[in-house]
């Protein structure tokens, strides 16, 4: 028989509210949005053929059950070993207790030193393996990493130029004066506008292909009808 104390604990747990948003905008300016969007969609492109990689932008991550105030929303995060799909938030206890292994933060003048110190401590404490920070104002890239999953602390990456993420396989470069990410095959991540153009082109090509298939189908149907008029069964040919 379940005790009254146990039932009360379960009732309290069901009453805990985990917000999906803090009401703040995802990005502080257009450049901030551009980096967030191109990084998220670029990573999704890298892992498009894998069903066990979840990529999200500005999604609340709750690492501890029962503690709704323990939460952060990285600009972009990657959880390897978790299925794709829609989520209102990333509740780690519902994700086989797998923490996002890689996070990206893009800093603007709205970010304070204390805020970034808090984020670094949060990511280190709750299991992030790779943490990349790009300062939009100074055009500076930095990174921290656990070289082994069991390492206690994140270590500063001494040189980020042409750095390749061990877990994602993507390459970082700031040689052009701005951050550029490259896929494992060497092709660069596209900008948000380029992604839209590519998507529009793909849609146009699909539309043309559908039209061609439809036209071919109509011609085949007409030919079949004429053969039947001649007493020929087209299915037997």
Average pLDDT per consecutive 10 residues, the chain (237 residues; last block may be shorter): 45 76 78 93 95 97 97 97 97 98 91 88 97 94 94 95 97 93 95 64 58 73 75 72
Boundary (domain end) residue, out of 169, 189, 209: 189
The structure tokens 């053969």 sit at 227
Please tell me the distance from the alpha carbon of residue 146 to that of residue 128, in angstroms, as a whole number. 8
Alpha helices in 69-191 (DSSP H): 113-125
Angle between helices 192-229 and 30-46 (to 10 degrees): 50
**210 and 130 housed in the same domain:** no
State residue 59's pLDDT score: 96
Q: In terms of domains, do 73 and 135 share one?
A: yes
Domain extent for 232: 195-236
Same domain, 92 and 161: yes
Q: Find out whether 153 and 164 touch, Cβ atoms under 8 Å.
A: no
Q: Please give the backbone phi and psi of residue 79, each rounded to the nearest 5 degrees, phi first.
A: -115, 105
**Same domain assignment for residues 16 and 38:** yes
215 and 183 within one domain: no
217 & 172 share domain: no
**Which tokens hold the place of 195?**
């992604």
Indicate whether 104 and 51 sit together in one domain.
yes
Total domain count, the chain: 2
**What CATH number is attached to the domain comprising 28?**
3.90.1570
Question: Which pTM value belongs to this model?
Answer: 0.77
83 contacts: CB under 8 Å, gap ≥ 6: 51, 52, 54
Return d(Cα 116, Cα 5) in angstroms, integer.
41
Q: Are 35 and 105 part of one and the same domain?
A: yes
Claim to verify: residue 139 and residue 230 sit in the same structural domain: no
pLDDT for the residue 136: 92
């Amino acid at each position: 028989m379940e005790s009254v104390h146990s039932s009360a604990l379960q009732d309290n747990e069901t009453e805990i509210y985990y917000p999906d948003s803090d009401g703040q905008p995802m990005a502080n300016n257009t450049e901030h949005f551009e980096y967030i969007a191109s990084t998220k969609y670029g990573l999704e492109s890298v892992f498009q053929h894998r069903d066990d990689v979840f990529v999200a932008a500005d999604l609340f991550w709750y690492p501890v059950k029962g503690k709704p105030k323990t939460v952060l929303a990285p600009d972009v995060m990657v959880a390897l070993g978790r299925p794709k799909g829609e989520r209102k938030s990333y509740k780690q206890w519902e994700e086989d207790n797998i923490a996002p292994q890689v996070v990206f933060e893009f800093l603007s003048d709205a970010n304070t030193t204390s805020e970034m110190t808090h984020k670094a401590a949060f990511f280190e404490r709750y299991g992030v393996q790779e943490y990349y920070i790009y300062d939009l104002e100074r055009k500076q890239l930095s990174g921290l990493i656990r070289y082994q999953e069991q390492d206690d602390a994140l270590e500063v990456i001494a040189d980020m130029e042409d750095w390749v993420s061990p877990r994602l396989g993507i390459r970082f470069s700031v040689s052009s004066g701005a951050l550029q990410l490259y896929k494992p095959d060497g092709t660069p991540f596209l900008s948000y506008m380029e992604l839209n153009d590519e998507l529009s082109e793909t849609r146009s090509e699909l539309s043309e292909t559908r039209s061609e298939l439809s036209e071919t189908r109509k011609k085949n149907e007409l030919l079949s009808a004429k053969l039947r008029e001649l007493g020929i069964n087209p299915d037997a040919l």
